[in-house]
Amino acid sequence: MFELTERLKKLPPYLFKEIDQKKRDLQAKGVDIIDLGIGDPDLPTPPKIVKEMIRAVQDPENHQYPSYSGSDDFKGAVADWYQERFSVTLDAESEVISLIGAKEGIAHIHLAFINPGDLALIPTPAYPVYNIGTLFADGMPYFVPLLKENGFLPDLNSIPEEAATKAKMIWLNYPNNPTAAVADRDFFEAVVAFAHKYDIMVCNDLTYSEIAFDGYRPMSLLQIEGAKDIGIEFHSLSKSFNMTGWRIGFAVGNKEAIEGLGSVKSNLDSGVFQAIQSAGLVGLRKNREIIREIQEIYAKRRDIMVTGLRDAGFIVDTPKATFYLWVPVPPPYTSASLATKLLTDAGVVVTPGNGFGSPGEGYLRLTLTQEEKRLLEATERIKGVGL
């Protein structure tokens, strides 16, 4: 009776359907499943943030429609945090906008700047919304592979002149999901030069900037001279402060990019609930103590998993950031076949790398979003499979 739009028909198929069904079948039989496939922090939101939410939700002034672009207090706190964390100066009124989670802004930016047929340079493997947002805007994705020999960074020199000339935006995400790769200043400088040369908007997903270890401090694109002329950066409180279900994030950077995104939002949503913004303020203002504790927890979990997987015969790099491990698949397995085997034989859910794009074939993504004893158990189960 109802036919889907061509827009929806273009979306890539759900590649995990078979594994999800097997997971449900095993759970129905009473099998204890350890899920290392979901990038959703298991840690609770810090009590100071929850306490402020309780106070703010009881304030009648917060019960009305919020500003679609965010409260002055929240945007001011974002600007202060950028100054403290990255030494980047932002105008809170024109260069900051609140988001209903970073995902919302990442999807909607395409509707502001991609016309039908326009090209967007999309890394692969990658967070699927970069591609999906392009398709929703009737744009055309041009996929740029992230390969191990390039440190899982896009090779800008490999992009054909024709594609670079037609492109309207390029997506970056470092620290990276799913590969856990990181980028240095030289790379960001090259991106900014590339964007200026071809008049391309740089959209940088900085969601994992605070999940970093061993003294490593990920940088912002906006720290590069000239970046604000062409760049917009997305951030989420989900990963930094364990606020995934709260749905709050923000975008910062180029005024025209922020204004365009705001125009889409003013027509499609009514902003972030004011009480949630008040709670988010606590995270931004108390960030050092909160983030330090979260980093320590994930660092311990990372070391448990890296050691356990190496003992099981895998070759695993120790990531500097994110709560992901990007693990090469040993022969003769494929990403999907090994993911299926680990689920059926060990009761451990992992994500096949090709689910993030074809260059992800030959890898598994494992998350660190389980407590230590469950991660230890997962590695013991994986060892028992006998790869």
Backbone φ and ψ for 326, nearest 5 degrees, come out as -110, 100
Average pLDDT over residues 45-53: 94
Residue 31: the pLDDT is 87
**Calculated CA dihedral for residues 194, 196, 200, 203, nearest 10 degrees:** 80
**Could you tell me if 281 and 293 lie in one domain?**
no
**Could you tell me if 271 and 157 lie in one domain?**
yes
115 belongs to a structural domain: yes
Counted residue by residue, the chain has a size of 387
Name the token pair of 62.
């917060």
Name the token pair of 188.
């960001």
Name, in order, each residue with C-beta under 8 angstroms of 68's C-beta and a sequence gap of 6 or more: 262, 265, 266, 269, 270, 271
Residue 39: the pLDDT is 83
pLDDT digits (tens, 9 = 90+) for 298-337: 999 999 999 999 999 999 999 999 999 999 999 999 999 9
**Could you tell me if 101 and 63 lie in one domain?**
yes
Average pLDDT over residues 345-357: 94
**Could you tell me if 361 and 313 lie in one domain?**
yes
pLDDT digits (tens, 9 = 90+) for 256-275: 999 999 999 999 998 999 99
Dihedral sign from CA coordinates of 38, 39, 43, 49: negative
In which domain, by residue range, is 336 found? 13-42+289-385
**Could you tell me if 304 and 325 lie in one domain?**
yes
**Could you tell me if 355 and 235 lie in one domain?**
no
CATH code for the domain in which residue 250 is found: 3.40.640.10
**Could you tell me if 108 and 253 lie in one domain?**
yes
Ranges of H-type helices in 246-317? 255-268, 274-285, 287-311
Average pLDDT over residues 72-88: 96
Average pLDDT over residues 238-251: 93
**Could you tell me if 26 and 123 lie in one domain?**
no
pLDDT band of 17, cuts 50, 70, 90: low
139 belongs to a structural domain: yes
**Could you tell me if 270 and 121 lie in one domain?**
yes
Other residues' Cβ atoms within 10 Å of the Cβ of residue 138: 16
93 belongs to a structural domain: yes
126 belongs to a structural domain: yes
**Could you tell me if 219 and 236 lie in one domain?**
yes
Q: Does residue 387 register a pLDDT over 80?
A: no
Name the token pair of 141.
């994705």
SS3 169: strand
Tell me how many domains the chain contains.
Answer: 2
1 belongs to a structural domain: no
CATH code for the domain in which residue 346 is found: 3.90.1150.10
pLDDT band of 25, cuts 50, 70, 90: confident
27 belongs to a structural domain: yes
Give the percent of the chain with pLDDT over 70. 98
75 belongs to a structural domain: yes
Q: Where among 233, 256, 285 does a domain terminate?
A: 285
231 belongs to a structural domain: yes
Q: Residue 121's beta-bridge partner residues?
A: 142, 170
**Could you tell me if 376 and 247 lie in one domain?**
no
Q: Whole-number mean pLDDT of the chain? A: 94
Q: Where among 232, 262, 285 does a domain terminate?
A: 285
SS3 230: helix
Average pLDDT over residues 289-305: 95
**Could you tell me if 57 and 139 lie in one domain?**
yes
